[in-house]
Chains A and B, each alone.
Chain A
């Protein structure tokens, strides 16, 4: 092999320690980013498909104007390879032998549900069954309450409009039901082809056409791109993210993964930058010699550029070789946690960020110091030249910061994230510079002696430049790791708080006022006390400041809330999870005013003092807005857009009561008895949904733990790389100290102390910077409130001190085990 080629051989390079560090850093970078990207991708798919079942599809198109959408829209979707399905929802009277009842009909096509399952029972006391399709033609599935109300049995027939349908099953749970309390009439499900036969739907009927779509995300997105310009205001495209309940959980999980990915990028950048600078320093002699032998600066530049390219390829290939099996293991872990097989999904596009990161890491972080090799003086072969002062590295630093900014931005797409992280880093570096100056000044006074502490302090001073650089890198690494740990714990705490084990999982709706006490007593006896009971009055918002609301609000601002009846309530106490953002809550005994939910107020442009008029049955009520409050829609408790004070405008209106409560799985049989005693009360079983959400949280938690472990491992390697950067100098010095009569134990102790001090200070700084970054992130991104995290933070400086002491002792190993003479010769 020609010598020049051999100079560029990666295999040859691998034998050099510094190159090994660069390559390992690169491989870790690519592996971490690729694993995170692949896993995040997989997780998202799993999450979305979990969550999709709540829509019975991946997307829904709702037409609230009572007209079907053009058939070609559906054809187009099918043409693009999407699965489609259809539902028609309306209310009507049904007639049984002993009476009639208003029901809410859901007519579904054969494909329903595209996602999720339906739960039915073939008799009151039969086991529940899971099925993948709705009723066939001529069949009707009914809510158990309807059977009781009309004194019917399975097998009886029920008239819906002009059509007589046979009751074949009890409908217990539908995948896309349960979140809207607006329809209080019992649910029945029929086949969509029977709708026309009923003759119920006439022009002007209140009917909603819903179309279901399922397929690949990008196809769905493309389809929506095509569809959107043709949609009318009454059409609504709903995806999982628009859903009410876990949109926030999903969003936070995504953000966390992105944050993790960004931190991995930062860590990779730090590792590559440190290692390549070290490498460049070690290459100066070689470059000087090559120049002396007649290689031009251009030739040198080309030589190292090709070398970098080779490293890049080696790093990418190596990184992917690590990432793929790792990803496979994570997916297996995921399916263990979910107790269900997860279809292994490898998205090649998820690898692009990793490869791109490798290139940017190489060219923004590794290349600048290596590029400067061209300027090494040939004279260096004869005598050592003034080394780098660090000033020439300032442009590198600017390039590096810009590159980090760009990468994180590209990766997380969140300016706030980038600014928080970089802000934290800048503060960290500023504090570090200040502290470093103070420390150097303080240490200058320390004189050496036979004491390990003194030797350690003198050591810190002697290596002040290297120590400061190492401290900066350690502090940065620890900051990134600590940020992640902090965000993770507050995220998990938040979720835990949101859905504790005893979260309400059943709703009771339609309780007659006179039955309230009896219902409450029933559940107290069975050890499942009810949450607060709220009266519920159905009414429409009709006027705003004495003007019809349809005129007062421009068309763009018209929201669903205006088109349907709202649930109004009265309450004395503000619910614990509501928060007043404007105005004041009703004082004791106050009977005037209404409190409005904040989002609705914003959409309608409502302000304190506006007069709202509601039409309730044939009556109207007008009250001024006295407060605006936020509501936790995902709290699994009754929530209301409009709340009146007790004794206020709603007092004499016809009301029913609503509440939620927690019922253990083994206590569910009590529901049968309850239904028999209170046949008119609707029971909404949300335990499946809650379980599902808790499952999602478990998935995300698992993912977060896995990614955290990965990043902490990367951080560890970065620290090891940085410590080993000064390995040779340290060993030479250690050998010299031993030659001069230093005792092995003293040397070992002082080195460990020196590194422990370094680690401790870096740990404290890193933790403080992490708190600063988390403060910004928490407030801006995760919408949480900030608090100090002593219990998480305290161990970090200690662990970092121990870890570095260990690294320090480890790199001193050859110095302590070999005779000083041999060592000095070897290090020559």
Chain B
């Protein structure tokens, strides 16, 4: 733990390092390869978009980078920790303190109010005065008036704002976003992505995002293109296409 804290304060090492990552799932009859030989590095403070067609493996890659799942082969190290060799509970602990998420389908708990949804990760990480921090963040995303509304009472865009507030609540060093605007109309999507990018800048968080949205992808510092489970830098891909 100490070592990890040390690493996070020094800016020299990359935030994410992936080496020779492969992922396969066994089906009833045969094995399906989803990712093949992926290697990449993402530096601290960088914002990276993972783009590719449906079924190309980008969501799987995001899950593996975030430690939601473990790869069949290869290693993932996040903020200096070899997450591919950690147990599930160790990974959960790591997520609680350093990782934030934004999902396409918002993933708010319907039983909890906006405020409580944002408080939840703070409580799970054992932070003090979670309510103060949660309120602050909800005000920051423009929902200061709607603290006690449940997700059902909020529009899609509002729900995603709550989710963004939640993602930044525990001061993550890295934020993973899975199609954050995928379920929103253009205008709302624009607002939400503005908010996401702005908060990302303010907090100095590393951002890894899966998206279809070319505009959104273009706002990221770097784009990783993935095709049939194989990673290509977009420049490279374009050259090959030409």
- Chain A residues near B (Cβ < 8 Å): 1-4, 6-7, 12-13, 15-16, 285-286, 289-299, 377-379, 381-383
- A residues near B60, Cβ cutoff 8 Å: 383
Binding site for A on B (CB under 8 A): 59-60, 62-63, 66, 68-69, 88-89, 91-97, 99, 101, 103, 107, 109, 111-112, 115-117, 119-121, 123-125, 130, 170, 178
- By a CB distance below 8 angstroms, the chain B residues around A12 are 111
Chain A: minimal CB distance from B106 (Å): 10
Closest to B94 in A: A294
- Interchain CA distance A7-B110 in the complex, whole Å: 10
- Max chain B Cβ within 10 angstroms of own Cβ: one of A6, A290, A294: A294
Is B111 within 8 A of A291, CB to CB?
no
CB distance from A543 to the nearest CB of B (A): 83
Residue from B63, B103, B116 within 8 A of A3 (CB atoms): B116
Residues of chain A with a CB closer than 8 A to B92's CB: 291, 294-297, 299, 378
Asked if B111 and A15 sit within 8 Å, CB to CB, the answer is: yes
Given A4-B124, A12-B111, A296-B89, A382 and B96 contact (CB-CB distance below 8 Å): no
Q: Which residues of A contact B97 (CB under 8 A)?
A: 294
A3 adjacent to B120 (CB under 8 Å): yes
Cα distance, A382 to B59, chains bound together (Å):
7
Q: Is the interface of A mostly helix, strand, loop or mixed?
A: helix
Kindly list chain B residues whose C-beta atoms are within 8 Å of the C-beta of A289: 107, 109
Give the shortest distance, in Å, between A292 (CB) and chain B (any CB). Answer: 6
Q: Is the CB of A381 within 8 A of B68?
A: yes
A-B contact pairs, 8 of them (CB 8 A): A2-B130, A6-B111, A12-B111, A13-B111, A289-B107, A294-B97, A296-B89, A379-B63
Tell me the complex Cα distance, A473–B29, Å: 33
Chain A residues, Cβ within 8 Å of B111: 6-7, 12-13, 15-16
Considering the complex, give the chain A residue whose CB is closest to the CB of B62: A382
Bound-state CA distance A295–B125 (Å) is: 8
The residues of B that contact A291 with a CB separation of less than 8 Å are 68, 88, 92
B66 surroundings in chain A (CB, below 8 A): 292
Chain A residues, CB < 8 A from B95: 292-294
Q: Once the chains are docked, how many angstroms separate the CA of A383 from the CA of B23?
A: 15
Shortest Cβ gap from B174 to chain A (Å): 13
Contacting pair B109 A381 (CB below 8 A): no
Instruction: Give the residues in chain A near B178, CB-CB below 8 Å.
Output: 382
Determine chain B's interface SS by DSSP, over half rule. Answer: helix
- Contacts A289-B107, A296-B89 known; list 17 others, CB within 8 Å: A3-B112, A3-B119, A6-B116, A286-B109, A291-B68, A291-B92, A294-B95, A294-B97, A295-B92, A296-B88, A296-B92, A299-B124, A377-B68, A378-B63, A382-B62, A382-B103, A382-B178
Q: Is A3 touching B117 in the complex (CB atoms < 8 A)?
A: yes
Question: In the complex, A16→B111 CA distance in Å?
Answer: 8
Residues of B within 8 A of A7 (CB): 109, 111-112, 120
Beta-carbon contact of B123 and A381 below 8 Å: no
Cβ of A381 and Cβ of B119 under 8 Å apart? no
Q: Which of A1, A6, A292, A383 contacts B59 (CB 8 A)?
A: A383
Distance in angstroms between the alpha carbons of A293 and B66 in the assembled complex: 11
Closest CB in chain A relative to B64 CB, distance in Å: 9
- Nearest residue (CB) in B for A295 is B124
Q: How far is the CA of A294 from the CA of B83 in the complex (A)?
A: 14
B109–A292 touching, CB < 8 Å: no
Shortest beta-carbon contacts, A-B, top 6 = A294-B96, A3-B116, A296-B89, A378-B68, A294-B95, A3-B119
Q: How far is the CA of A299 from the CA of B97 in the complex (A)?
A: 15
Q: Are A293 and B69 in contact (CB under 8 A)?
A: no
A293 touches B96 (CB 8 A): yes
Q: How far is the CB of A295 from chain B (nearest CB, A)?
A: 5
Question: Distance in Å from the Cβ of B176 to the closest Cβ of chain A?
Answer: 9
Query: What is the CB-to-nearest-CB distance from A289 to chain B, in angstroms, rounded to a whole number?
Result: 5
The CA of A297 and the CA of B68, in the complex, are separated in Å by: 13
Tell me whether B63 and A293 are in contact (CB under 8 A). Answer: no
Of A4, A298, A382, the residue contacting B63 (CB under 8 A) is: A382
A379 contact set on B, CB distance < 8 A: 63, 68-69
Bound together, the chains give a CA A696 to CA B103 distance in angstroms of: 69
| Cβ of B107 to closest chain A Cβ, rounded Å | 5
Is the CB–CB distance between B124 and A290 below 8 Å?
Answer: yes
A15, A294, A378, A381: the one within 8 Å of B125 (CB)? A294
Contact B124 A378 (CB under 8 A): no
State the CA gap A298–B130 with chains docked (Å). 22
Residue of B nearest to A15 (CB): B111
Q: How far is the CA of A195 from the CA of B139 in the complex (A)?
A: 100
Least distance between A695 CB and chain B CB atoms (Å): 56
Shortest distance in angstroms between A282's beta carbon and chain B's nearest beta carbon?
A: 11
Q: Are B68 and A382 in contact (CB under 8 A)?
A: yes
Chain B residues contacting A1 (CB-CB under 8 Å) are: 116
> Is there an interface contact between A294 and B93, defined as CB atoms closer than 8 Å?
yes
> Taking CB as reference atom, which chain B residue is nearest A375?
B88
Bound complex: CA A467 to CA B101 (Å): 38
How far is it, in angstroms, between the C-alpha of A289 and the C-alpha of B60 when the chains are bound?
16
Q: Closest A residue to B122 by CB, please name it.
A: A3
Residues of A within 8 A of B101 (CB): 292-293, 381
Report whether A294 and B121 are in contact in the complex, using a CB–CB cutoff of 8 Å: yes
Question: Which residues of A have CB within 8 Å of B125?
Answer: 294
Cα A298 to Cα B60 in complex, Å, equals 25
Residues of B within 8 A of A383 (CB): 59-60, 63
Within the complex, the shortest CB–CB distance from A554 to chain B, in Å, comes to: 72
List, in ascending order, chain B residues with CB within 8 A of A2's CB. Answer: 116, 119, 123, 130
Per the bound structure, the CA–CA distance linking A290 and B125 in Å amounts to 11
Cβ-defined contact, B68 with A4, below 8 A: no
User: In the bound complex, how far is the Cα of B99 from the Cα of A769, in angstroms?
Assistant: 56
Residues of chain A contacted by B62 (CB below 8 angstroms): 382
Q: Are B59 and A4 in contact (CB under 8 A)?
A: no
* Among A293, A298, A378, A381, contact of B121 (Cβ-Cβ < 8 Å): A293
Q: A294's contact among B69, B119, B124, B130, by CB below 8 Å, is which?
A: B124
Please give me the residue from chain B that is nearest to A300 by CB atom. Answer: B92
B123 touches A377 (CB 8 A): no
B contact residues around A290 at 8 Å (CB): 120, 124
- Chain A residue numbers with a CB within 8 Å of B88 are 291, 296-297, 378
Contact of A378 among B59, B69, B116 (CB under 8 A): B69
CB distance from A69 to the nearest CB of B (A): 70
Q: How far is the CA of A480 from the CA of B101 in the complex (A)?
A: 50
A459 vs chain B, min Cβ distance (A)? 27
> By CB atoms of chain B within 10 A, which of A2, A13, A383 has the most?
A2
Chain A residues lying within 8 Å of B124, measured Cβ to Cβ, are 4, 290, 293-295, 299
**Which B-chain residue is minimally distant from A1 (CB atoms)?**
B116
Q: How far is the CA of A299 from the CA of B120 in the complex (A)?
A: 13
Are the CB atoms of B120 and A293 closer together than 8 Å?
yes
A7 to B120, CA, bound (A): 9
Determine the distance from Cα of A298 to Cα of B94 in the docked complex, in whole angstroms.
15
| B112 proximity list for chain A (CB < 8 A) | 3, 6-7
